[in-house]
């Protein structure tokens, strides 16, 4: 046994703990997978990712529209993971690739969280009989949004898998020093109990060479995983950065610190350089569109209440806190037993590289994520962005040990008392989970956009499409306006800008500038004009039209002009930028005067927007994403990325002209004063 403990890190479970842990993992994973499959779907935002993947597979680069370098996806790794799956899958629809990958990663994340918690409790269970029962894992899978977003085509599954893996690896890392430390004051055996055997101290000096090799490899792997946080989602840099900081503090030598820095920073720093040079921004375009550094505290607390109210999340929080206290009291090593600091490690390193520090790390990370999203204002999808902080906060009690009384570590009566308390609390958690799993959620407000702006996204689109499981882009053709847009595109071979009208079965058409009259007849016969569609739902639209059709929105997810407008104070969360369609007319080669523009557009606004596009700052920003990419353009974007990221325009063309100091074009007609002559 001592030889095994000398290897880094190894802590055996009692067979009862090992079997109960794996039975719990299998049961929870099966329940979660089944529940997620019953609620399978692909969100409109998930289809946005697939449009970028289509362009990658077509050789157009990681863009949403050909010839316009916009990073319309928040998660870099998720985009390229689906690209890899699509490349391997060949003829398999991208929607099915995203569905399977998201589901597998979601269940893997929950399994890793449970295994990490099981390993956390393993040292205290050595030589004791105990059951490892799924606790917080049941709470997570019971919350309906957790099952909704286990598929959805979004990166939630990737986030779960990443955080579950990071948690498990951090627990392993925290236990590495335990193999090289022995109790200075082992507890005396109780009267009548079998004598406690004192383990022989391990050899003094640094760990053996084999352990150093394993330790360096594991540190490099952990640092690499922690560094990927910012590419999973930008705000997860708070989690990965804190993990890397702990590793640097605990490292014994500068050589080890250098290894951690290189392994953790090589990929994210390399991609950041690429992002700045290719997209001309410091962070994804989605973060720019939603002003991820802004604050809407009031809306954030509304979002938190909206998530808590249907499921009474405070109830399992209290129960799990009680389970955590019981587990702390019944742990194997009492608090007064000190462990020697291994040779070569400082007191601070020993405290940082410890299980208690890792538990604090994961809890603090969850709180930071929650604070960030509440400050940001949450989201328009019910519960989605708070699933990450909930998962982090639940990780330390994903499973809970029920120590069976043995009369050795504590009196048998106390053992029965604590085992009974654990059982009662665990049963209460299980009952709540069963109730929450069958909760109606938001109820009658699930599919209505109320003053909160929050909806149950899966139920909303299921109702709007008439399909219980909208999975493919074709399933979204039954969404209002979708079939009509295909008809409008076919009816305008000369090119047009399509704007959504008040009638869901038609689109307003702004014709493109016709080809020059001197175009040769053979070219005129095959001429196909440019098409642009201006609409909010980019995913379903972008996946149902060809890649030659430019698809833009007013909130800036795929529209570089809208992304650089300012956030509206009272706009719907996640949709609080709103660029007027007059700008879309001004940008393109479209006819800009009546009767070719709809009556709700202003000819003067279009003319003013056309001039405003010549503002030097605006022109530089648009050129950075539309100009031909070469080394000169790349390095220019790299240098000016901070400036471009902070650049903002005014959504009202007249105000933008004033801001830029440009001349206002003359009005198309004299303004009405009420004094015009009515007759001779």
How do residues 380-403 score in pLDDT, each as one tens digit?
999 999 999 999 999 999 999 988
Domain boundary among 438, 462, 493: 438
pLDDT above 70 (res 182): no
Per-residue pLDDT reduced to its tens digit, 456-499:
999 999 999 999 999 999 999 999 999 999 999 999 999 999 99
Contact between residue 174 and residue 358 where contact means Cβ atoms under 8 Å apart: yes
Coil, strand, or helix at residue 329?
helix
pLDDT at 72: 94
Contact between residue 319 and residue 432 where contact means Cβ atoms under 8 Å apart: yes
Cα gap 440→446, rounded to integer Å: 9
- With pLDDT > 90 as the criterion, what percentage of the chain qualifies? 72
Q: Is residue 504 assigned to a domain?
A: no
Highest mean pLDDT among 8-17, 327-336, 658-667: 658-667
Per-residue pLDDT reduced to its tens digit, 590-602:
999 999 999 999 9
Q: Where are the beta strands (DSSP E) in 579-624?
A: none
Q: Is the dihedral of CA 380, 383, 388, 392 positive or negative?
A: positive
Q: What is the mean pLDDT of residues 16-33?
A: 94
pLDDT at 32: 98
CA atoms within 13 A on the CB side of 70: 30
Structural domain of 176: 15-180+214-337+346-438
Q: Is the omega angle on the peptide bond into residue 385 within 30 degrees of 0, that is, cis? A: no
pLDDT at 415: 67
Q: What is the mean pLDDT of residues 162-183?
A: 81
Per-residue pLDDT reduced to its tens digit, 104-138:
999 999 999 999 999 999 887 777 788 899 999 99
Q: What is the mean pLDDT of residues 28-54?
A: 96
More confident residue, 409 or 190: 409
pLDDT at 616: 96
pLDDT at 574: 85
Q: Which of 184-188, 366-370, 455-459, 606-610 has the lowest mean pLDDT?
A: 184-188
Structure-token pair, residue 596: 């070719």
Nearest alpha-carbon partner for 163 in 121, 119, 110: 110
At 571, the pLDDT band (50, 70, 90 cuts) reads confident
pLDDT above 50 (res 209): no
At 201, the pLDDT band (50, 70, 90 cuts) reads very low
Domain boundary among 438, 453, 477: 438
Q: Is residue 492 assigned to a domain?
A: no
Q: Is residue 135 assigned to a domain?
A: yes
Phi and psi dihedrals of 274, rounded to 5?
-60, -45
pLDDT above 70 (res 224): yes
- With pLDDT > 70 as the criterion, what percentage of the chain qualifies? 87
Question: What's the domain count of the chain?
Answer: 2
Q: Is residue 287 assigned to a domain?
A: yes
More confident residue, 188 or 141: 141
Q: Is residue 554 assigned to a domain?
A: no
Cα gap 226→241, rounded to integer Å: 7
At 3, the pLDDT band (50, 70, 90 cuts) reads very low
CA 272 → CA 48, 158, 266, 275, 280, distances in Å? 22, 20, 10, 5, 10
pLDDT at 270: 97
Structure-token pair, residue 391: 């998962």
pLDDT at 408: 58
pLDDT at 81: 97
Q: Is residue 462 assigned to a domain?
A: no
Residue with tokens 């929050």: 454
Q: What is the mean pLDDT of residues 339-348?
A: 67
Q: Is residue 150 assigned to a domain?
A: yes
Contact between residue 550 and residue 529 where contact means Cβ atoms under 8 Å apart: no
pLDDT at 337: 45
More confident residue, 345 or 447: 447
655-664 long-range contacts, CB within 8 A, separation 24+: 656/608, 656/609, 656/612, 656/615, 656/618, 657/608, 657/611, 657/612, 659/615, 660/612, 660/615, 660/616, 660/617, 660/618, 662/611, 662/612, 662/614, 662/615, 663/611, 664/608, 664/611
pLDDT above 90 (res 420): no
Highest mean pLDDT among 211-220, 416-425, 541-550: 541-550
Structure-token pair, residue 561: 């002009």
Q: Please return the burial class of 30, using the count of CB atoms within 10 Å of its CB with bins 0-12, 13-18 and 19+.
A: exposed
Per-residue pLDDT reduced to its tens digit, 6-15:
444 555 567 7
Q: Is residue 570 assigned to a domain?
A: no
Packing angle of the helix pair 76-89, 44-57 (nearest 10 deg): 60
Domain boundary among 438, 461, 489: 438
pLDDT averaged over every residue in the chain: 88
């Amino acid at each position: 046994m001592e030889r095994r403990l000398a290897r880094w890190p190894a802590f055996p479970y009692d067979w009862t703990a090992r079997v109960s842990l794996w039975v719990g993992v299998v049961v929870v994973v099966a329940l979660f997978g089944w529940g997620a499959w019953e609620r399978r779907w692909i969100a409109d935002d998930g289809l946005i990712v697939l449009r970028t993947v289509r362009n990658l597979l077509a050789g157009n680069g990681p863009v949403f529209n050909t010839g316009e370098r916009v990073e319309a996806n928040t998660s870099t790794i998720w985009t390229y993971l689906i690209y890899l799956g699509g490349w391997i899958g060949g003829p398999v629809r991208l929607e099915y690739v995203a569905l399977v990958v998201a589901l597998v990663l979601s269940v893997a994340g929950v399994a890793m969280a449970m295994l990490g918690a099981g390993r956390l409790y393993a040292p205290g269970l050595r030589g004791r009989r105990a059951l490892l029962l799924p606790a917080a894992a049941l709470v997570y899978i019971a919350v309906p949004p957790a099952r909704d977003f286990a598929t959805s085509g979004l990166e939630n599954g990737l986030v779960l898998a990443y955080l579950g893996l990071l948690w498990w690896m951090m627990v392993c890392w925290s236990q590495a020093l335990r193999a090289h430390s022995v109790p200075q004051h082992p507890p005396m055996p109780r009267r009548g109990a079998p004598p406690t055997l004192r383990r022989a101290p391990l050899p003094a000096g640094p760990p053996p060479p084999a352990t150093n090799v394993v330790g360096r490899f594991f540190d490099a792997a952990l640092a690499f995983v922690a560094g990927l946080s910012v590419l999973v989602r930008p705000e997860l840099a708070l989690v990965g950065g804190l993990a890397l900081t702990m590793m640097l503090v605990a490292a014994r030598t500068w050589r080890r610190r250098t290894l951690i820095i290189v392994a953790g920073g090589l990929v994210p720093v390399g991609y950041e350089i690429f992002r700045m040079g290719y997209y001309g921004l410091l962070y994804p375009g989605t973060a720019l569109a939603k002003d991820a550094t802004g604050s809407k505290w009031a809306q954030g607390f509304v979002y938190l209440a909206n998530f808590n109210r249907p499921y009474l999340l405070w109830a399992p929080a209290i129960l799990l806190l009680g389970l955590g206290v019981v587990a702390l009291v019944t742990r194997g090593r009492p608090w007064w037993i000190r462990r020697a600091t291994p040779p070569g490690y400082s007191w601070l390193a020993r405290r940082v590289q410890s299980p208690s520090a890792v538990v604090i790390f994961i809890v603090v990370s969850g709180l930071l994520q929650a604070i960030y999203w509440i400050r940001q204002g949450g989201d328009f999808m019910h519960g989605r962005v708070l699933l990450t902080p909930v998962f982090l906060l639940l990780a330390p009690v994903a499973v809970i040990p029920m120590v069976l009384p043995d009369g050795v570590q504590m009196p048998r009566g106390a053992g029965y008392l604590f085992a009974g308390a654990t059982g009662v609390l665990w049963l209460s958690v299980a009952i709540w989970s069963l109730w929450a799993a069958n909760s109606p959620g938001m109820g009658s407000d699930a599919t209505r956009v109320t003053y909160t702006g929050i909806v149950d996204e899966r139920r909303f689109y299921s109702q709007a499409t008439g399909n219980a499981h909208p999975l493919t882009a074709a399933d979204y053709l039954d969404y209002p306006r979708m079939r009509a847009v295909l008809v409008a595109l076919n009816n305008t071979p000369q090119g047009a800008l399509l704007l959504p009208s008040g009638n869901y079965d038609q689109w307003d058409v702004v014709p493109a500038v016709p080809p020059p009259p001197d175009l040769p007849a053979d070219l005129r016969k095959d001429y196909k004009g440019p098409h642009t569609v201006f609409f909010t739902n980019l995913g379903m639209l972008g996946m149902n039209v060809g890649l030659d059709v430019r698809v833009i929105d007013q909130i800036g997810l795929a529209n570089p002009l809208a992304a650089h407008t300012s956030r509206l104070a009272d706009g719907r969360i996640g949709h609080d930028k709103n660029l007027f369609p007059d700008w879309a007319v001004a940008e393109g080669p479209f006819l800009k005067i009546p009767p070719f523009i709809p009556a709700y557009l202003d000819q003067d606004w279009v003319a003013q927007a056309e001039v405003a596009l010549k503002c030097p700052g605006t022109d530089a920003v648009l050129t950075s994403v539309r100009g031909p990419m070469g080394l000169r353009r790349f390095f220019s974007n790299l240098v000016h990325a901070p400036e471009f990221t902070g650049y903002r325009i005014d959504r009202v063309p007249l105000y933008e002209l004033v801001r830029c100091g440009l001349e206002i074009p003359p009005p198309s007609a004299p303004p009405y004063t009420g004094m015009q002559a009515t007759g001779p």
